[in-house]
A = this chain, B = another copy of it.
Amino acid sequence: MSLPHAILTALLEKPSSGLELTRRFDKSIGFFWSATHQQIYRELGRLEDGGLIEALPQPPSRGQRKEYRVLPDGRAELSRWVGEGQDPKPIRDPLLLRLRAAAVVGTDGLDAELRRHLTVHQQQLDEYTAIEARDFPAETSAQENRLHHTVLRAGIALETFWVDWLSEALAALTPPAS
């Protein structure tokens, strides 16, 4: 149950409408939590019903922009949730499964898929390092900034892992023609 807390965090950083949130979930928020606009609108409704956020009093009609901000109860709930414990989820990765399956039924078509993933992860890595260069040029001592940087570095390290591992996997797939 992390989506509501992702939304609370985003709204505390900056009050937004549903569509703005969707855009932010495609960018910076998306580095650690992804969500579609359908999920976001549904959850905004729930959070409003629960009294954790409110819409700026304005338009009752449909295609109209609706801006939300966090209420004190919402902030308290987020603060409570930060200290909550939650075990890390076990791995569930289709690509690793494909490799294992390929060991039984053959590697047909796997090569291309690995190359494709390598490209995707390399691009993501480039994007993250560009953001790091732009937003965190030197170490600062501001706590908030350091936390943001730490989260970004997790993204960088994860993408680096994938790039390295995919290269290794490609090598394992096509042994040197000796």
The answer to whether A120 and B87 touch across the interface, beta carbons within 8 angstroms, is yes
In the assembled complex, the Cα of A82 lies from the Cα of B153 at a distance in Å of 32
User: In the complex, which residues 66-125 of chain A have their Cβ closer than 8 Å to any Cβ of chain B?
Assistant: 75, 78-79, 81-110, 112-113, 116-117, 120-121
The answer to the question of A12 belonging to the interface, with a C-beta cut-off of 8 Å to chain B, is yes
In the assembled complex, the Cα of A12 lies from the Cα of B106 at a distance in Å of 12
The answer to the question of A30 belonging to the interface, with a C-beta cut-off of 8 Å to chain B, is yes
Which A residues lie at the B interface, using CB under 8 A?
A: 2, 5-6, 8-9, 12-13, 29-34, 75, 78-79, 81-110, 112-113, 116-117, 120-121, 141, 143-144, 146-151, 153-155, 157-158, 161-162, 164-165, 168-169, 172-173, 175
Q: Which 8 A-B pairs have the closest CB atoms?
A: A83-B109, A32-B96, A34-B90, A103-B147, A79-B105, A9-B101, A103-B144, A2-B94
